[in-house]
Amino acid sequence: MSVRNNAVFYMRLSDADKRPVNPEWIECVSLRCLMMNPVSPHLHPPRKILVDGQLLRTDDIFTREFETGNAALPDGETFNGSLCSSEIETLRFDEPGLYHVSFGVKLFGHKTPVTLRYEIYCDREA
């Protein structure tokens, strides 16, 4: 978690030869965020659905080149996409608990999206 209960999500999409995926190949990006049940979160339904299937602007998230050197990333990590939760009004981590955030990235010509999953644990109220 960063300042004011925001999180930054870093994403890396590449082809089989480890080349960055061209943003023009991405048909759509959808966002889903669930606040999980504190008792056995993986076995019980979520406590709350915060965002369900919100479509995001692809060009705001992905670039053609991998970027490196960001202070928030471990050494050697690269990414070609990033998004700060502060950019999305409904993506908030106001209550303590475990959040599941997933981005569905659908490429043109593919039936199913690639899913990028993140778990965020917030240990205090906003």
| Domain that residue 95 falls in | 3-122
Report the predicted TM-score, pTM, of the whole model to 2 decimal places: 0.83
What pLDDT score was predicted for residue 5? 72
Task: Kindly report, residue by residue over 26-81, the tens digit of the pLDDT.
Answer: 999 999 999 988 777 777 788 889 999 999 988 889 988 888 766 677 777 888 98
DSSP secondary-structure letter at 38? S
**What dihedral do alpha carbons 117, 45, 1, 89 form, nearest 10°?**
90
Print burial letters for 2-27: b (CB count within 10 Å at least 16), e (below 16): eeebebebbbbbeeeeeebbebebbe
Tokens, residue 100: 């599941």
**Domain count of the fold of the chain:** 1
73 compared with 15, residue with greater pLDDT: 15
What pLDDT score was predicted for residue 126? 55
**58: exposed, middle or buried (Cβ count in 10 Å: 0-12, 13-18, 19+):** middle
Mean pLDDT of 6-20: 88
> What is the rounded CA–CA span in Å between residue 94 and residue 72?
22
What pLDDT score was predicted for residue 125? 64
3-class state of residue 63 by DSSP? strand
